[in-house]
Amino acid sequence: MRRSPRPHAAKTKPPHIKKYEKAEFDGIDFQGQSEFEIHDPELLPKQLVRAIEQTNCRYKEDLKTLPVRFLVIENKRFVLVPCFGIAIRHEIFDLQNSRRPRLLPLAKMAPERGFVAADSAGFVTWNKDDQVFEATGGNDTCVRERSGTSTRSRLMEQSCR
């Protein structure tokens, strides 16, 4: 009996994260894309996991709904990590050195004191059209806009006294 030929298997892209069992870090390959997402905490690069865990971020709880986002912005690489708790917040990591992700300190408005450094600006999204990070926190009754660290980015934050 003659077997029918197997249909050609669809070519799958290699994974964005290359796991190296014996190394202290994993490879991160954007594959020419400006962004990609990871929905499974087991697939995150181990050096990023170490950096996230130093901040006490509870990132594993619901990545299927709100994934970790890897972004390239003006040739710079960032990771937007959701932290789950009473309120969802994000932390932004700089991947300039992909072996040592660095938590970005953000300027945040503080009543009576002006701006202070903060690890999180609240719930953060990347607005591709305007090339800005947008952050919301608090409630929706007050909106303040402030400049970010570069001239092309700004953070919009909702906060009230």
At 119, the pLDDT band (50, 70, 90 cuts) reads low
Predicted structure pTM score: 0.72
Gap between the Cα atoms of 64 and 54, Å rounded = 22
136-148 residue pLDDT tens? 764 332 333 333 3
Distances (CA, A) of 6 to 9, 10, 11: 8, 12, 14
**Alpha helix locations (H) across 6-78?**
46-54
48-70 residue pLDDT tens? 999 999 988 999 988 888 999 99
If one compares 131 and 12, the residue with the highest pLDDT of the two is 131
First to last CA, the chain: 79
Q: Is 88 exposed, middle or buried (0-12, 13-18, 19+ CB in 10 A)?
A: middle
For residue 144, which of 133, 157, 154, 130 has the smallest C-alpha distance? 157
Q: What is the pLDDT, as a whole number, of residue 94?
A: 94
At 155, the pLDDT band (50, 70, 90 cuts) reads very low
Question: Would you list the domain boundaries of the chain?
Answer: 34-157
If one compares 4 and 31, the residue with the highest pLDDT of the two is 31
Gap between the Cα atoms of 148 and 125, Å rounded = 14
Residue 30, SS3 per DSSP: coil
